[in-house]
Amino acid sequence: MSSLRLTRRGRVVLFLLAAIIVITSVFAASSAVAGDRVKDVDVKTVTVMAGETLWSHARAMTPSSKDVRDTVILIMDLNGLSTADVRAGQQILLPTSLD
C-alpha cells in the first residue's frame, strides 16, 4: 500500500483550505447568534430616573403571561449591555410592544 506524500505547496494549500473553513464557520456562527435574539423591534428611548432599574422597566411592560426575564434579556440585547445594571441619567432603548 502506498503512502500519500505532499509537497510543500500541497501542505500550504491544505493549511490555507483548513484555515478558510475555520474562519468561515466562526463568522457564520457569530452572525447567527447575533441575529437570533433581536429581530426587528420598534423601540423608544427612555432616560433612566433615580431608583429605576432595568427590571422595573421590564416588569412594567411585560404581560402577565410572559416571563420578565425574557424582557430583561431583550432590553439588554437592544442596548448591548452585558449586565442589567443601569444608572440614573442613562438613556436606554425599550421595545414599544412585546409580541
Q: Does residue 50 sit in the same domain as residue 72?
A: yes
Helix (H, G, I), strand (E, B) or coil at 4: coil
The verdict on 27 and 54 lying in the same domain is no
Quick one: 26 and 57 in the same domain? no
Asked if 73 and 33 sit in the same domain, the reply is no
Q: What is the pLDDT averaged over residues 5-33?
A: 80
pLDDT of 28 reads 66
Domain extent, residue 1, equals 1-37
Q: What is the pLDDT of residues 46-92, one digit of tens each?
A: 999 999 999 999 999 998 888 999 999 999 999 999 999 999 999 99
Check: pTM over 0.75? Answer yes or no. no
Same domain, 43 and 58: yes
SS3 annotation, 19-66: HHHHHHHHHHHHHHHHHHHCCCCCEEEEECCCCCCHHHHHHHHCCCCC
pLDDT at position 37 over 70: no
Single-letter code of the amino acid located at 19: A
Q: What angle do CA 45, 50, 55 make, to 5 degrees?
A: 65
Mean pLDDT of 12-36: 74
Q: Is the pLDDT of residue 1 over 60?
A: yes
